[in-house]
A and B are shown apart, each in its own frame.
Chain A
Amino acid sequence: MRIKDIINFLKQPKIFVFAIIWMMMLVVLGTLAQKDMGLYTAQNRYFSAWITWFWFVPMPGGRLTLVIILINLSFFFFKKSIWKIKKLGIVILHLGGILLLVGGGLTAMFSSEGNMVIEEGAQSNHVEDYHFMELAIINTSAVNFDEFTIFDQPLLKRNQVLAHANLNFEIEILNYLENCEPTKRTSPAGIQYKGMLKNFILNELKPEKEDNWNRPGMIYKISNSGTNADGMYGIFLGQSISQTVSVNDKDYTIILRRKRTYLPFSIELLDFKKILHPGTDIPKSYSSDINLIENGVVRKILIQMNEPLRHKGYTFFQSSFIEGPNSETTVLAVVKNYGRLFPYISSIIMCIGLLFHLSQKLPDLFRKSKEKIAV
């Protein structure tokens, strides 16, 4: 009885109607909010959130609303009345809708995006995330390799203590700044300050509208090293000279950087070409001549606007470039999207469903119109 009640409740078409109306409202609100809070924040607050807060009132976020729609569409199949040949078109249409939502779910949960920056003549085998940071502590003492201990963004918050068996010390985060600016000290620093903090302080700035314009920074304390490396340090994104500490004959480099994902292959930039519209600074096309290097096999490929490279689930789009004094640097947007094919497949399925439904209904429609004419 209880299960039947649940099924009856969940398969109600009005849930779908209310949910889709709410989703449309979220789209409008999110689009308007994006102007003030930036794309990434608006996306997170309205579309990727389970719960969206309007002042102190919790409302279903985009993710929860879509899950409700998915559940509602799935429970549609519990209706006994649909399992007829006459309703086959509707069933196929619902299947297409479910597949579209499943694809969206896969994209939301498992896809990643970032960029790969390669200077002409150089190689890269990693993608840097647009939004997430990581604290990399690199033990550079070995001759042939570096040992990386990476603390991801969720751990980078005030009062968090970072420790790992690879490290001979602990790091306590005294403050994590979403956006900051290093400023020269006006008075001498105390002896507890080490490295950059001897001469600089990190001033907290208001976060920028666009998340990736921020320069995150961190004040941290190294302790329990048993050496004079103990003390307070500062670090920020883009610091040209990394902080190094020596603890018990081991050298560590500490870097705050964008989260890196290493790829099972490398890309070498052979040449970057930029063509402008004649007499203007408006780009007509950009392209990157690259070598895709995998297991020692080199393959020459051209990546240009609207012609990305797709390899091993990753898609590399020509995104931007940096003009240097001696050479150019290409910026490739890299996307890994497990749900990439779902929109295409589900659209085709929904079209088939609609055509099927139409082909079943058309003879009836023609017959009715003929009857009307006859009357």
Chain B
Amino acid sequence: MAIKLIFSILILVFLQSCDQDNHIRTYQLAKTKAADTKPRFEVPEKQSTGFNWTKPASWIPSFGSSMRLASFDVPFSNGTGDLSVIQLGGTGGGIEANVNRWRRQLNLEPQSLSEIKREMIENKGGLGFYNVIRITNEELGSAFLCAILPAGNQTLFVKLSADPKGIHEIETDFISFCSSLIISI
């Protein structure tokens, strides 16, 4: 009698466990805003470099040259970008010299300072105002997204190297990363 009862209860438990839901749902939503799919950022990282920053969770620290303060592999839909942070004393050679150095790396003609400034976008972050410039060579299929951040008596240069589509995809994260840079206390 008791065995039958226990057996019946076990069958009931087994039947309850049978999941009949097919676990597929479909729905339509109005076009998502950028904020909806915005990636999560990790907590600010305390660095020994004199600067702190907050990076997107998917950026992976990598090993760059000893010149670099930090390096990251930055995944995008069709590959990986390389992001470097370099710190130089004073103005580090200035905007014109650095932007033209990057342009030469992409086989592009140098530009005058006024031309460069026209293409620059000003942002504000933890280190104050800084400039961002996008340098693209479509024929080569390469592009740089660069930020120049004055930080007291030194300058930080953040450079992201990827293909033009990747630069476009990563731009929001790049700006957030640059804005998160602060001097560590």
Contacts and interface: CB of A to CB of B under 8 A. Distances in A.
A182 B60 contact: yes
Nearest to B181: A325
A332 interface: no
Given A9-B1, A145-B31, A325 B23 contact: no
Interface of A: 5-6, 9-10, 50-51, 64, 68, 117, 119, 122, 124, 140, 144-155, 164, 166, 182-184, 195-196, 198-200, 215, 236, 238-244, 255, 262, 322-326
A124 B29 CA distance: 13
B112 interface: no
29 contacts: A6-B1, A9-B2, A119-B35, A122-B35, A124-B36, A145-B28, A146-B28, A146-B29, A148-B27, A149-B25, A150-B24, A150-B26, A151-B24, A152-B23, A152-B25, A182-B58, A182-B60, A184-B60, A199-B73, A238-B40, A240-B39, A240-B173, A241-B58, A262-B29, A324-B176, A325-B54, A325-B126, A325-B176, A325-B179
A155 B32 CA distance: 25
Contacts of B74: 240
Given A146-B28, A152-B25, A155-B23, A324 B41 contact: yes
Dominant SS among interface residues on chain A: mixed
B76 A241 contact: yes
Contacts of A326: 125, 179
Given A68-B9, A117-B40, 19 more contacts: A10-B5, A122-B35, A144-B30, A145-B28, A147-B28, A148-B27, A149-B25, A151-B24, A164-B26, A182-B75, A184-B60, A199-B75, A236-B58, A238-B57, A239-B39, A240-B173, A241-B75, A322-B41, A325-B182
Contacts of A68: 9
A152 B24 CA distance: 6
B13 interface: yes
A335 to B, nearest CB: 21
Interface in B141-175: 166, 169-170, 173
A163 B182 CA distance: 47
A184 B79 contact: no
Interface string B107-125: 0000000000000000001
A324 B39 CA distance: 13
A244 B77 contact: yes
Contact of B77 (A51, A243, A322): A243
Contacts of B76: 241
B176 A144 contact: no
A242 B62 CA distance: 21
A154 B19 contact: yes
A274 to B, nearest CB: 15
Contact of A184 (B37, B39, B73, B77): B73
B5 A148 contact: no
B78 interface: yes
Interface string B26-61: 111111100111111101100000000010111110
Contacts of A146: 28-32
A241 B35 contact: no
Contacts of B80: 184, 196, 198-200
B65 interface: no
B17 interface: yes
Given A241-B170, A244-B77, A325-B126, A148 B58 contact: no
Contacts of B176: 324-325
B180 interface: yes
A172 to B, nearest CB: 16
B57 A323 contact: no
Contacts of A323: 44
Contacts of A9: 1-2, 5
B60 A183 contact: yes
B58 A240 contact: yes
A231 to B, nearest CB: 12
B77 A195 contact: yes
A95 B126 CA distance: 62
Contacts of B56: 240
A140 B58 CA distance: 23
A119 B40 CA distance: 11
A105 to B, nearest CB: 12
A215 B42 CA distance: 13
B100 to A, nearest CB: 29
Contact of A195 (B35, B59, B78): B78
In order of increasing CB-CB distance, the 8 nearest A-B pairs are: A152-B23, A240-B39, A199-B80, A238-B57, A325-B180, A240-B58, A241-B76, A150-B25
Interface in B89-145: 125-126
A322 B54 CA distance: 11
A81 to B, nearest CB: 23
